[in-house]
Structure 1
Amino acid sequence: MNEAKASTGSVVALSATVVIWAFSWIVMKVVLRYAGPFDFSALRYSIGAVLLFVVLVALRRPLAPPPIVGTLVTGLAQTAAFQGLGQFALISGGAGHVVLLAYAMPFWAVLFAWAFLGERPLRRHWIGLALAAVGLTCVIAPWNGLGNPLSTGIALVSGACWALGTVTSKHMFQRHRPDPLTFTAWQMAFGAAALGVVALLVPQRSIEWSPTFIAGLAYSVLLATCLAWTLWLLVVRKLPTAVVSVSSLAVPVISVLMAWAILHETPTPGEWLGMAFIVAGLFAVSGMGNKKSL
């Protein structure tokens, strides 16, 4: 009974994370009109890390950092590199293509987890990955060109960095069992420090502290950063890497639908077809209908 409740809770946490992150791409598209990408990312994660440490103190949770190497690698990979490179790719590439290329993360994560964690993919995982691959291909439509090759490459590398961070997080929980909130705060602090250095070195436009920017920053810090990353690490600890990583493909699908409803960006027929394949892949990899899947 407790195991079933834990699995249900993990699925709910994963669903909440997906929705929060999906909307965050809409918020980010608006917010970046008022600030440079690296300044915004550094500010977002610096404030987020500080708030998490305040919460740790208030809840009397452990403040000592988890094993430094694993925490540092996770922070540099899934906070600094994924966010920084993703934002940088948006400078010269279309937002839709960048998001979808970055969210090729599951393909990297399944391979990394197999290589480093010994999590051999099941048949349904391969089927789900294959369906999702077809879906991403339809949405990206490489036969129409991928736009700026540099942007395309950077977006793909950002997804690989996120996958690496996901696998190192899983390894940390398996081997050291750190407190999830403490681990989130420290890896975010390391990532924010790296982003801060980049922000100082790369020339950008000055931040315009408009109400829209402040509201977007608040959403990004409180929900998309503090809450969502904590939920993400909780889910990574509880569920198989393949299930977690492929489920993240729901983020770009929901983002496209939100952009259609909010920003009036109508999906193309190829995008509709691609999203159908991605949803089919999600059903396959989640093993819905199989009580032993989780």
Structure 2
Amino acid sequence: MLALIWSYNWIVMKQAMAYSGPFSFSALRYLLGTLVLFILLAARGESLRPPPLLLTAAIGLAQTTGFQAFVQWALVDGGAGRTALLAYTMPFWTVLLAWWLLADRPSARHGAGIAVAAAGLVLVLEPWHGLGTAQSAWLAIGGGLFWAIGVVLSKRLFARGGVSALSLTAWQMAFGSAGLVVVALLADERSYDWTGYFVAAVAYNAVLASGLAWVLWSYIVERLPTHVAGMTSLVIPVLGIGFAWWLLGERPDAAEAAGIVLICLALAIVNRRPQPQPR
């Protein structure tokens, strides 16, 4: 469910740029997404008391403000499929940060999966042809690094216990949305063009991509090892390439197709259940 929501949203975010500035759209979608999450918190009868404020604010500024501002800016000039793939360098940053900060060392099997996925990502990106618009490429990669920081900090907070995925998602998004509003005001962008498509794009993002999907992601980060959660997310840009091909005409070439196959193989390696040991 998460992969379908987020992979299709790369198309939505790209097309929304015709009706809004990148930072204004990001601020609007996350403000509304935060409202949806707090309504859900109240409806479930969960406490509205915030998690540890300093760490939650850091997660929000990295995972919401930093990640979303960078990737939305990257989409102004970059293709939806290519931007998604560059942003999803996140799993590789996550493995390094988790190894360093959480002592979460990947097993040999996970290391093999990471190596195969890295090879697939290189084939998809084809750096020997350049990375397209240099600014767009680096913005997307920077967004992936910010997201990885948010993932590792979330894992550290969940390890303390006493914090639900919904509560953390709502509060970090509140802090992150405030950061996006500041960025949008400083950018002084054009006003919204409230067409039917733009209203639908905002609704899709507020309820699904910024609301439900981030709760699902927090639940995944809480329940799975950090490197497994990060690697599993690579299915999202693979689907994003498919949607970009289908809806935007961004057709992958032979090298990109081979890279997608390798990424799928890496996902199978990482997520393979170990065989039970005989008694």
Q: Same fold (TM over 0.5)?
A: yes
2:57 is matched with 72
Describe the SS at the equivalent of 2:193: coil
1:278 is matched with 263
Unaligned runs of 5+ in 2: none
Query: C-alpha separation between the residues in 2 aligned to 1:94 and 1:258?
Result: 12
Report deviation, 1:289.
5.7
After superposition, residues 197-208 of structure 1 pair within 5 angstroms as 197-208=182-193
Q: Is the 8 A contact 1:242 1:285 kept in 2?
A: no
Unaligned runs of 5+ in 1: 1-15
Query: C-alpha separation between the residues in 1 aligned to 2:135 and 2:244?
Result: 25
Report deviation, 1:96.
2.9
1:149 is matched with 134
**Deviation digits for residues 97-123 of structure 1, max 9, x if unmatched?**
322111000000011111111111101
After superposition, residues 111-260 of structure 1 pair within 5 angstroms as 111-260=96-245
1:267 is matched with 252
Query: C-alpha separation between the residues in 2 aligned to 1:288 and 1:143?
Result: 36
After superposition, residues 98-109 of structure 1 pair within 5 angstroms as 98-109=83-94
TM-score between both structures, scaled by the size of structure 1: 0.90
Q: Aligned letter for 1:215?
A: A
Among 2, 15, 20, the residue aligned to 2:5: 20
TM-score between both structures, scaled by the size of structure 2: 0.95
Q: Is the 8 A contact 1:113 1:119 kept in 2?
A: yes
Q: Aligned letter for 1:163?
A: A
Q: What percent of counterpart residues are identical? A: 47
Q: Is the 8 A contact 2:13 2:72 kept in 1?
A: no
Query: C-alpha separation between the residues in 2 aligned to 1:151 and 1:107?
Result: 19
Among 60, 70, 95, the residue aligned to 1:110: 95
1:30 is matched with 15
Among 70, 74, 90, the residue aligned to 1:85: 70
Query: C-alpha separation between the residues in 2 aligned to 1:119 and 1:28?
Result: 33
Query: C-alpha separation between the residues in 1 aligned to 2:47 and 2:205?
Result: 25
Q: Aligned letter for 2:237?
A: P
**Deviation digits for residues 192-244 of structure 1, max 9, x if unmatched?**
00000000010323211111011111111111111000011011111111111
Query: C-alpha separation between the residues in 1 aligned to 2:184 and 2:77?
Result: 18
Among 26, 38, 44, the residue aligned to 1:59: 44
Indicate the RMSD between aligned Cα atoms, in angstroms: 1.5
Moved more, 54-63 or 69-78: 54-63
Q: Aligned letter for 1:156?
A: I
Return closer, same or farther for 1:103/1:28 CA change in 2, 3 Å cut-off.
Answer: same
